Amino acid sequence: MSNSAPFGVLMVNLGTPEAPTPEAVRKYLGEFLWDPRVIDVSRPVWWAILNGFILRTRPRKVAEAYASIWTDEGSPLMSYSRKQQRALAARLEASMGQPIPVELAMTYGSPSMEEAGLKLRKSGVGRILVLPMYPQFSRSTTAAVFDRLADALKPCPHLPELRMIRDFHDHPLYIKALANTVREHWQALGKQGHLMLSYHGIPKRYATQGDPYPTHCERTSELVAEELGLSSTQWSHTYQSRFGREEWLKPYTDVTLKAWGKEGREHVDVMCPAFSADCLETLEEISEENREYFKESGGGEYHYIPALNDRDDHIDLLESLVNQHTQGW
């Protein structure tokens, strides 16, 4: 096999339905929620709950939420992921003086690991750097990428040399990029509000069992606040997107915003550092749904600060990560 490029990069994010329809959402949720890394309930019990109730009732409501954020380019997550892919490929080609294959895969849905892997194989690379687009490690995200990739490689008679980036929650360029988004928002607005850093939640039980995710999230928040020069009273750290009845990481974003609204808090700015690209959980849940919770409870101004998406300083980070983790290749 020819090997014109020294390595290839496999960018991986969570996934998205192919359309904002109940049918497409049902297919996507069926794959996503069946992963034991995401829901670790006994398989027979969970199969009955998932197929007997959740996939019968949730797809229509979730499809409506997706429809509220869908664009002419399709799913925002897919659109931004493609832009990140193209931007990173251009950066690497410019810095290395030759094309470096960069492919995109989703843990659930399309493009699949198999599709992206086949493209990398056809490009002739024998070494692949796996770049999960999750700054903070969790069993339910980064570990799920590892599992899915391993499953995709099982039929292969010849495996590539692999390296995988576990996390970058405290990388200086990541912290700088996040802080830049906040500074630019405050500059455009002409004033500074209380900063809420909201992260996707996980069951508290996962953390008790050793998942380092909350520790990573807390460190990210501390470093962003430090970079911005904020005092402890000027920022808060919360968790969103809980699912089911068991206790998840606290404090909860929605509960906190409702309480702040009742207190009459005048100005809140919310960012979501765990999301590398805007998606349903940021554009619908945070920017729309939680805004309503805050305002209807009596709160004042509410602003969502977009994810890093395809900003130049985010691509700076991705390029740095690739350079760092491909040393010797």
Q: Is 281 annotated as a binding residue?
A: yes
Alpha-carbon span 48 to 295, nearest angstrom: 38
Q: Is 64 annotated as a binding residue?
A: no
Alpha-carbon span 69 to 288, nearest angstrom: 10
Count of C-beta atoms within a 10 Å radius of residue 139: 21
Count of C-beta atoms within a 10 Å radius of residue 207: 17
Helical residues (DSSP H) of 97-141, grouped into ranges: 113-123
Q: At what angle do helices 142-153 and 113-123 cross, to 10 degrees?
A: 60
- 137 φ/ψ angles, rounded to the nearest 5 degrees: -75, 140
Secondary structure class of 271 (helix, strand, coil): strand
Q: In what order do the strands lie in the sheet with 8-13?
A: 102-106, 8-13, 127-132, 161-164
What is the rounded (10 degree) CA torsion for 78, 82, 88, 93? 160
Residues making up the annotated binding site for Fe(2+) are: 200, 281
Residue numbering of the annotated binding site: 200, 281
